[in-house]
Chains A and B, each alone.
Chain A
Amino acid sequence: MAATTQTPPDALGTSRARQAQRRNTRRDTRAALLFISPWLVGFLVLTLWPVLYSGYLSLTDYDVFNAPNFVGLENYRTLFSDETARLAIGNTFYFAIIQVPLQVLVSLALALLLNQAGRSSGFFRTAFFLPRMTPPVAIGVLLLLLFNGQSGLINRVLGLVGIDGPAWTTDPNWIKPGLILMSLWSVGSSVIILLAALRNVPAELYDSAKVDGANFWQKTTLITVPMISGALFFVFIINSIDALQSFTEAYTAYFGSGNTTYSNDAALFYSIYLFREAFEFLNMGYASALAWVLFVIILVITLVQLRVSKRFVYYEGEQR
Chain B
Amino acid sequence: MTASIESEAQQRDNVGRAAVVANAGGVRRDRSKRITPGRVLVLLALSACTVVFIYPFVWLVSASFKTRAEVFDNRLIPKTFTLDNYVQVWQEAPMLLWLGNTLLVTVLAALTVTISSSLVAWGFSYFRWPGRNAVFGLVLATMMLPGAVTMIPTFLIWNALGLTGTLYPLWAGNLFGSAFYIFLLRQFFLGLPRELFEAARIDGANNWRIFAQIALPLTKPAIVVTLLFEFQAAWTDLMRPLIYLRDPETFTIPRGLKTLVDQFGFGGEFRWEIIVTAGVLTTLPMVILFFLGQKHFVEGIATTGSKG
A residues contacting B by CB (< 8 A) are 25, 28-29, 31-36, 38-39, 41-43, 45-47, 49-51, 53-54, 57, 64, 110, 113-114, 116-120, 124-131, 133-138, 140-142, 144-146, 148, 151-153, 156, 185, 189, 192-197, 199-200, 203, 230-231, 233-235, 237, 241, 245, 247-248, 251-252, 256-259, 261-262, 271, 274-275, 278-279, 284, 287-288, 290-292, 294-295, 298-299, 302, 306, 309
Q: Is B199 an interface residue when CB atoms closer than 8 A count as contact? A: no
Q: Which residues of A contact B232 (CB under 8 A)?
A: 133
Decide: A200 near B21, CB < 8 A? Known: A39-B139, A41-B176, A136-B238.
Answer: yes
Most chain B CB within a 10 A radius of its CB, from A135, A237, A259? A135
Q: Which residues of A contact B3 (CB under 8 A)?
A: 233-234, 237, 306, 309
Instruction: State whether B282 touches A137 (Cβ < 8 A).
Output: yes
Instruction: State whether B54 touches A284 (Cβ < 8 A).
Output: no
Interface membership of chain B positions 129-158, coded 1 if the CB is closer than 8 angstroms to chain A and 0 otherwise = 110100100110010111111111111110
Q: Which residues of A contact B46 (CB under 8 A)?
A: 113-114, 117, 120, 124
Which residue from A43, A135, A194, A261 sits with its C-beta under 8 Å from B286?
A135
Interface membership of chain B positions 264-282, coded 1 if the CB is closer than 8 angstroms to chain A and 0 otherwise = 0111100010011001001
Instruction: State whether A50 touches B150 (Cβ < 8 A).
Output: yes
Which residue from A47, A138, A257 sits with its C-beta under 8 Å from B257?
A138
Q: Which residue on chain B has the smallest CB distance to residue A128?
A: B53
Which residue from B31, B38, B235, B279 sits with its C-beta under 8 Å from A141?
B279
Give Cα A7–Cα B22 distance, bound, in whole angstroms: 58
Chain B residues 102 to 145 lying within 8 A of chain A, measured CB to CB, are: 116, 119-120, 122-124, 126-130, 132, 135, 138-139, 142, 144-145
Give Cα A309–Cα B3 distance, bound, in whole angstroms: 10
Which residue from A41, A241, A291 sits with its C-beta under 8 Å from B149?
A291
Give Cα A271–Cα B147 distance, bound, in whole angstroms: 10
Which residue from B17, B153, B173 sits with its C-beta under 8 Å from A200?
B17
Question: Which stretch from B79-87, B89-97, B190-198, B296-304 is at the chain A interface?
Answer: B296-304
Q: Which residue on chain B has the smallest CB distance to residue A186?
A: B53
Which residue from A137, A231, A274 sits with its C-beta under 8 Å from B238?
A137
Give Cα A54–Cα B27 distance, bound, in whole angstroms: 54
Instruction: State whether A134 touches B123 (Cβ < 8 A).
Output: no
Instruction: State whether A45 touches B127 (Cβ < 8 A).
Output: no
Chain B residues 18 to 48 lying within 8 A of chain A, measured CB to CB, are: 20-21, 24-25, 27-29, 31-32, 38-39, 42-43, 45-46
Instruction: State whether A199 touches B21 (Cβ < 8 A).
Output: yes
Q: Is B12 an interface residue when CB atoms closer than 8 A count as contact? A: no
Decide: A291 near B148, CB < 8 A? Known: A46-B154, A199-B21.
Answer: yes
Q: Is B74 an interface residue when CB atoms closer than 8 A count as contact? A: yes
Q: Which residue on chain B has the smallest CB distance to residue A244?
A: B146
Instruction: State whether A135 touches B235 (Cβ < 8 A).
Output: yes
Give Cα A83–Cα B64 distance, bound, in whole angstroms: 42
Q: Is B168 an interface residue when CB atoms closer than 8 A count as contact? A: no
B residues contacting A by CB (< 8 A) are 1-3, 17, 20-21, 24-25, 27-29, 31-32, 38-39, 42-43, 45-46, 49-50, 53-57, 59-60, 63, 72-74, 116, 119-120, 122-124, 126-130, 132, 135, 138-139, 142, 144-157, 159, 173, 175-177, 182, 207, 211, 232, 235-236, 238-239, 242-243, 253-254, 257-258, 261-263, 265-268, 272, 275-276, 279, 282-283, 286-287, 289-290, 294, 297-298, 301-302, 304-308
Decide: A39 near B54, CB < 8 A? Known: A25-B128, A151-B74.
Answer: no
Q: Which residues of A contact B126 (CB under 8 A)?
A: 32
Give Cα A25–Cα B131 distance, bound, in whole angstroms: 12
Q: Which residues of B contact A54 (CB under 8 A)?
A: 149-153
Instruction: State whether B138 touches A43 (Cβ < 8 A).
Output: yes
Minimum distance in angstroms from A36 CB to a CB of chain B? 4
Instruction: State whether B286 touches A134 (Cβ < 8 A).
Output: yes
**6 nearest A-B pairs in the assembled complex, by CB-CB distance:** A42-B176, A118-B32, A35-B123, A234-B308, A193-B305, A258-B262
Q: Which residues of A contact B267 (CB under 8 A)?
A: 257-258
Instruction: State whether B150 touches A137 (Cβ < 8 A).
Output: no
Which residue from B28, B286, B298 sits with its C-beta under 8 Å from A192?
B298
Most chain A CB within a 10 A radius of its CB, from B2, B116, B126, B283? B283
Instruction: State whether B147 touches A31 (Cβ < 8 A).
Output: no
Q: Which residues of B contact A284 (CB under 8 A)?
A: 152
Give Cα A230–Cα B53 distance, bound, in whole angstroms: 27
Decide: A234 near B129, CB < 8 A? Known: A39-B116, A39-B139.
Answer: no
Minimum distance in angstroms from B78 CB to a CB of chain A? 15
Minimum distance in angstroms from A197 CB to a CB of chain B? 7
Instruction: State whether B123 touches A33 (Cβ < 8 A).
Output: yes
Q: Which residue on chain A has the smallest CB distance to residue B119?
A: A35
Q: Which residues of B contact A288 (CB under 8 A)?
A: 152
Give Cα A64–Cα B156 distance, bound, in whole angstroms: 8
Q: Which residues of A contact B32 (CB under 8 A)?
A: 117-119
Decide: A234 near B305, CB < 8 A? Known: A50-B153, A51-B149, A142-B279.
Answer: yes
Instruction: State whether A38 touches B21 (Cβ < 8 A).
Output: no
Give Cα A195–Cα B230 distance, bound, in whole angstroms: 23
Instruction: State whether A193 touches B302 (Cβ < 8 A).
Output: yes
Minimum distance in angstroms from B106 CB to a CB of chain A? 12
Instruction: State whether A196 touches B129 (Cβ < 8 A).
Output: no
Decide: A25 near B60, CB < 8 A? Known: A118-B32, A256-B262.
Answer: no
Q: Which residues of B contact A120 (CB under 8 A)?
A: 43, 46
